[in-house]
Structures are given as structure tokens and as C-alpha cells.
Amino acid sequence: METKGGEALSEAVSGVVVPRWRVLWTHSNSEQLVYDQLAGKGLELFLPTVEAWCRRGGTRRLSRLPLFRGYLFWRHAMDKTSYLEVCKARGLVRVLGERWDQLATVPDSEIEAIQRLTGSRLPMLPHPYLREGQRVRITRGPLADVEGILVRINPKKGLLVVSVNLLRRSIAVQLDCTALEAA
């Protein structure tokens, strides 16, 4: 289905309403509470979790924590009734989007990738969202606290450019992208 430019794609494809992934924003540490309430109503939800060590009551133990704190995903063909039913969940701040009929969606491919990663049982860590062209700071190593522009991200290395604006000159260095954070 294509658009001529500017208009949104309809959720109905050939008269069939297509369910899309939506994002539910929850209060702090309420992801599981919202998930349990809505799963009890038979809704299709996805709460990606990761195992991490945490300290509770003075003892360290391995727990499952949300991968994206404060968020979980909901897949449904949108109508006002189901939107209002979801909004009644205790611990929910809101469904991301403009209005009930203009909610933000997450592409199926991104959700499938997250599902495959969480199902793989490989060690995972949350990572800062970095984009090419973004100003970043190096967090560790001999270049700690140096800031520059992230020019290119490869699977293992990124290219960081540090510029002297007055001279209109730059230098570039390849480095490990896990040592970067948004500046």
C-alpha cells in the first residue's frame, strides 16, 4: 500500500484491519503490573526482559528486568473500545501517539528482532541509542571524556570525528562503539 506523500497509511488493507505493534508507557517499575492486567484480558503483549543481578533485602540475586524500562508492546487492530480498555490499566501512563486513532507504531521487523534476541539466551545489555551524525562522548579508555561527531557505525567499530571549528579542520579515529554515550 502506498501513499502519494504526507498522508498516513490506513490500518485497513483490502478491507482487513491489520494489527500493529503499539507502545505502552508505564509508571516506573509498573511494566509487569500493566502486562499482567492486560494479558488477563487476552491481549497480545510483549514485555522483553533480561536477566540481571540486583540487590533486594541485602542479598544479591538474579532477576528478570524489563529491557526497555517503562515500556511494553501491545499488538492490536485499533478501535476506540480496545484503546479505552487498555487505558484503564493501573500503572499505565499512556499509549504513545497523538490520539487513539493516530497512535505510534513499531515495525514488525523491529519487534521480531527483539523477540529473537531475547529468545536466544545470549547475554544482552541495554545500550544508548546512537545515530550517525550525533555528538558523542567517549566513556572509557585513553580517550575518555573526548567529544566528537559519530560519522559511521560498523558492527564492531565506529568512526568518531573531532573538529576544530575555528580552523575548519577535523581528525577521525576508529573506536569501539560500546565506549560511546550521547554528549
Task: Please report the pLDDT score of residue 10 as a whole number.
Answer: 45
Dig out the grid coordinates for 1 from the structure: 500500500
CA distance 75 to 89: 16
Please tell me the distance from the alpha carbon of residue 6 to that of residue 139, in angstroms, as a whole number.
Answer: 40
Query: Among 23-32, 104-113, 165-174, which is the least confidently predicted range?
Result: 165-174
* Residue-range domains of the chain with CATH: 16-119 (3.30.70.940), 135-182 (2.30.30)
Please report the pLDDT score of residue 58 as a whole number.
86
Query: Could you tell me the pLDDT band of residue 57, with boundaries at 50, 70 and 90?
Result: confident
Q: Compute, in degrees rounded to 10, the torsion defined by CA atoms 105, 107, 108, 112.
A: -110
DSSP code string of 60-115: EEEEEEESSTTEEEEEE---HHHHHHHHTSTTEEEESBSSTTSB--B-HHHHHHHH
Q: How confident is the model at residue 8 (pLDDT cuts 50, 70, 90)?
A: very low
Instruction: Decide if pLDDT at 125 tops 70.
Output: no
Q: What is the mean predicted confidence (pLDDT) over 101-124?
A: 85
Q: Is the confidence at residue 27, as pLDDT, over 90?
A: yes
**9 pLDDT exceeds 70?**
no
